[in-house]
Amino acid sequence: MATGKINVSVENIFPLIKKFLYSDHEIFLRELVSNATDATLKLKHLTSIGEAKVEYGNPKIEVQVDKENKQIRIIDQGIGMTADEVEKYINQVAFSGAEEFLEKYKDSAKDSGIIGHFGLGFYSAFMVAEKVEIITKSYKDEPAVHWVCDGSPEFTLSPAEKTDRGTEIILHVAEDSTEFLEEYRIRELLTKYNKFMPVPIKFGTTTETLPKPEDAGDDYVAETVEVDNIINNPNPAWTKQPTDLTDEDYKNFYRELYPMQFDEPLFNIHLNVDYPFNLTGILYFPKLSADLQVQKDRIQLYQNQVFVTDNVEGIVPEFLTMLRGVIDSPDIPLNVSRSYLQADGNVKKISNYITRKVADKLKSLFSENREDFEKKWNDIKIVLEYGMLSEPKFYEKAGAFVLYPTVDEKYFTLDELKEKLAATQTDKHDKLVLLYASDKDAQHSYIAAAKDKGYEVLLLDSPIVSHLIQKLEADNDKISFARVDADHIDRLIQKDEEQISKLTDEEKDKLKEAVETVVPKATYTVQLEAMDSSAAPFIITQPEFMRRMKDMSKTGGGGMFGMGNFPDMYNLVVNTNSNLAGSILATEDAAQRESLVKQALDLARLSQNLLKGEELTAFVKRSFELIK
């Protein structure tokens, strides 16, 4: 048997790093600008603690594209490197100078905003460049150096002419990466990844019009000057204290984040924690429509003001992925490519924190200005209802601010409703009945009947409302929900006094038979009911339970697979005290009686929106005949 050691040489690893370390080649620019930013922030820190005796000034980072010479240059005015430091930080792959710096200045530098972490970012340059040069001069009094490497493990290091402090990285762009020599492409990348980085980034120049002098005459011609084109906002709103920001500041920042979005956010939530993890950010509630899928993935994740991803799955609870805004946390564990999140304890804590913070904000919005909260309710309800169903921690808190609007646009909390109903409903039912409608127009006649009796009717029209109702009933054993068309109103909410039927048992049998010969048995169950003579003679109802189960299966109710294929089942309630019931019984001619029943049935169907197509045409024709 032979044993040995597998020989992993640099020659083997280098091409691997180049090819597979980062799946996205475009991130080279993010990494190099991050290094330039780190170099600048390190200098800032060292000058602030008096360790670097140089003027910090107003350093910026410049990105240049030289298409003719196939070069991209990233120039900073940061701490630079001595020859020894190049040997140490650049020539040792996977040795992070950033981590070393943070370790060395542990106590003072923890809030310095330094980005680097793995000691691999620099090498991403070789994903797009066939040769990379570094010309750098340290803030220390040492000569500048010039490092050149063509992607093989060999490099050269020689003295350089550079006299001013800082580092210039020159990428000789490879044939397969010439897309990055296009100015628009670099602008796009800078906007995507570096828009809020903490050091100003110059990319080209723009012209600016000078203000018109006070003493300018009529013949004044506007003067323009060339100025640096700074592509980033080094102090984005989320890095500031909430107390230093006005409503307008928050709205402006929303526009900065989504320049193509023209709606105004409804409200914002400023996130700010530093224990047990570090996280800042601003979330916005946008106006939402019912189609939630298309509105997802708008929250941007940053680490120390560097854009990482707009997929925040796992970090933000699912129901809040419809929100917009920014989350910045150095404590979200990312793998080297920073593009995939790993599920770990910190991430769960972050997700819970966000849920709690959102619930607290909603509660305070509700209690501080209920009227305004009610106005916004319809635009936010879908998110909150979804949150109640999917996030137990949110559900616990939601009772304090979740509203149930009525068809007349009054808004109640569940507790308020219970109190109100307890005062009006008798104890015939062992539960309080909450009447609701899902469509004001389609259920108009039922809503009207309920309102005639003095009942409030809720308007619950979200697609997931059946699921929510089911959950609320399961958790509150004293309430039950009933859609207005689930039964005749007098049966949904029973009164103490009962109606007595005017018909004899024999007459009832005859009436039932007359109706049943006309209505399709597969769809309708005929029920005789003694009601007020003024109530509609024929009423079609759809029992709550079956309908709700069907609704739930349509919107993804677990375990109810296939229910969507069940036929619709209705009850046809015939009012035995109505004049029509009398007329049907009094009509001797069978054909005439049938046509009477048919007409009444169709009218009932019409009020449930069930009369369509051919049957509707026939009904209209028959009705014209009748009034001729």
Footprint on this chain of ligand ADP (rule: CB under 6 A) = 31, 35-36, 38-39, 76, 78-81, 89-90, 96-98, 116-122, 167
405 makes contact, choosing from Mg ion, ligand ADP, none, with CB < 5 to 8 Å by partner type, with none
**Which residues, 27 to 86, sit near Mg ion by CB under 5 A?**
35
Minimum distance, C-beta of residue 29 to ligand ADP, in the bound complex (Å) = 12
| Main-chain dihedrals φ then ψ at residue 368, nearest 5 degrees | -80, -35
The residue among 121 and 265 lying less far from ligand ADP, judged by its C-beta, is 121
Our finding on whether 121 is near Mg ion (CB under 5 A) is: yes
Give the helix/strand (H/E) hosting 593: helix 590-607
The residue among 194 and 351 lying less far from ligand ADP, judged by its C-beta, is 194
- Tell me how far apart the alpha carbons of residues 74 and 255 are, in angstroms, rounded to a whole number: 29
237 makes contact, choosing from ligand ADP, Mg ion, none, with CB < 5 to 8 Å by partner type, with none
328 makes contact, choosing from ligand ADP, Mg ion, none, with CB < 5 to 8 Å by partner type, with none
The residue among 40 and 542 lying less far from ligand ADP, judged by its C-beta, is 40
Of 236, 235, 245, give the one whose Cα is nearest residue 268: 245
Our finding on whether 194 is near Mg ion (CB under 5 A) is: no
Minimum distance, C-beta of residue 9 to Mg ion, in the bound complex (Å) = 25
167 makes contact, choosing from ligand ADP, Mg ion, none, with CB < 5 to 8 Å by partner type, with ligand ADP
**Which residue's entry shows tokens 């539960």?**
431
The residue among 41 and 530 lying less far from ligand ADP, judged by its C-beta, is 41
Minimum distance, C-beta of residue 38 to ligand ADP, in the bound complex (Å) = 6
277 makes contact, choosing from ligand ADP, Mg ion, none, with CB < 5 to 8 Å by partner type, with none
Of 545, 520, 542, give the one whose Cα is nearest residue 597: 520
- Tell me how far apart the alpha carbons of residues 359 and 336 are, in angstroms, rounded to a whole number: 34
Report the relative pairing of strands 538-541 and 298-303 from DSSP bridges. Answer: unpaired
Across 379-395, b (16+ Cβ under 10 Å) vs e yields ebbbbbbbbbbebeebb
199 makes contact, choosing from Mg ion, ligand ADP, none, with CB < 5 to 8 Å by partner type, with none
* CA-to-CA dists, residue 349 to 275, 340, 353, 417, angstroms: 11, 18, 6, 35
305 makes contact, choosing from ligand ADP, Mg ion, none, with CB < 5 to 8 Å by partner type, with none
Minimum distance, C-beta of residue 144 to ligand ADP, in the bound complex (Å) = 12
The residue among 35 and 443 lying less far from ligand ADP, judged by its C-beta, is 35
Cis before residue 198, ω within 30 degrees of 0?
no
The Cα angle at residue 478 between residues 473 and 481, in degrees rounded to 5: 45
Minimum distance, C-beta of residue 177 to ligand ADP, in the bound complex (Å) = 19
**Which residue's entry shows tokens 């007020």?**
532
Minimum distance, C-beta of residue 189 to ligand ADP, in the bound complex (Å) = 17
- Tell me how far apart the alpha carbons of residues 478 and 525 are, in angstroms, rounded to a whole number: 30
- Tell me how far apart the alpha carbons of residues 132 and 393 are, in angstroms, rounded to a whole number: 52
Of 115, 116, 172, 155, give the one whose Cα is nearest residue 14: 155
The residue among 114 and 539 lying less far from Mg ion, judged by its C-beta, is 114
| Main-chain dihedrals φ then ψ at residue 424, nearest 5 degrees | -110, -30
- Tell me how far apart the alpha carbons of residues 455 and 449 are, in angstroms, rounded to a whole number: 9
The residue among 21 and 230 lying less far from ligand ADP, judged by its C-beta, is 21
170 makes contact, choosing from Mg ion, ligand ADP, none, with CB < 5 to 8 Å by partner type, with none
The residue among 121 and 265 lying less far from Mg ion, judged by its C-beta, is 121
Minimum distance, C-beta of residue 76 to Mg ion, in the bound complex (Å) = 12
Minimum distance, C-beta of residue 101 to ligand ADP, in the bound complex (Å) = 7
Q: Looking at 80, 113, 116, 286, which residue binds Mg ion (CB under 5 A)?
A: 116
571 makes contact, choosing from ligand ADP, Mg ion, none, with CB < 5 to 8 Å by partner type, with none
Which residue, judged by CB position, is nearest to Mg ion in the bound state? 121
The residue among 121 and 281 lying less far from Mg ion, judged by its C-beta, is 121
C-beta of residue 323 within 8 angstroms of C-beta of residue 286: yes
81 makes contact, choosing from ligand ADP, Mg ion, none, with CB < 5 to 8 Å by partner type, with ligand ADP
The residue among 117 and 137 lying less far from Mg ion, judged by its C-beta, is 117
Q: Interface mask (CB under 5 A) for Mg ion, residues 129-168, using x and -?
A: ----------------------------------------
Minimum distance, C-beta of residue 76 to ligand ADP, in the bound complex (Å) = 5
Handedness of CA 85, 89, 90, 92 (dihedral sign): positive
Cβ burial, residue 602 (10 Å; 0-12/13-18/19+):
buried
- Tell me how far apart the alpha carbons of residues 8 and 186 are, in angstroms, rounded to a whole number: 36
HSE, side-chain direction, 13 A CA sphere, residue 376: 21
Our finding on whether 557 is near Mg ion (CB under 5 A) is: no
90 makes contact, choosing from Mg ion, ligand ADP, none, with CB < 5 to 8 Å by partner type, with ligand ADP
Minimum distance, C-beta of residue 119 to ligand ADP, in the bound complex (Å) = 4
The residue among 78 and 198 lying less far from ligand ADP, judged by its C-beta, is 78
* CA-to-CA dists, residue 616 to 117, 162, 597, 607, 620, angstroms: 71, 88, 16, 12, 6
The residue among 101 and 180 lying less far from Mg ion, judged by its C-beta, is 101
Phi-psi region of 166 (alpha: psi -120 to 50; beta: other; left: phi over 0): left
- Tell me how far apart the alpha carbons of residues 45 and 470 are, in angstroms, rounded to a whole number: 58
Minimum distance, C-beta of residue 199 to ligand ADP, in the bound complex (Å) = 11
- Looking at residue 527, what DSSP letter applies? E
Minimum distance, C-beta of residue 102 to Mg ion, in the bound complex (Å) = 12
Joined together, the tokens standing for residue 580 give: 């029509």
Q: What is the end-to-end Cα distance of the chain in Å, rounded?
A: 108
Segment 246-249 long-range contacts (CB within 8 Å, at least 24 positions apart): none
Minimum distance, C-beta of residue 98 to ligand ADP, in the bound complex (Å) = 3
Joined together, the tokens standing for residue 318 give: 């699912």
Q: In terms of residues, how long is the chain?
A: 628
From 112-120, 141-149, 257-265, 467-475, span contacting Mg ion (CB under 5 A): 112-120
The residue among 35 and 553 lying less far from Mg ion, judged by its C-beta, is 35
Residues binding Mg ion (CB under 5 A)? 35, 116, 121
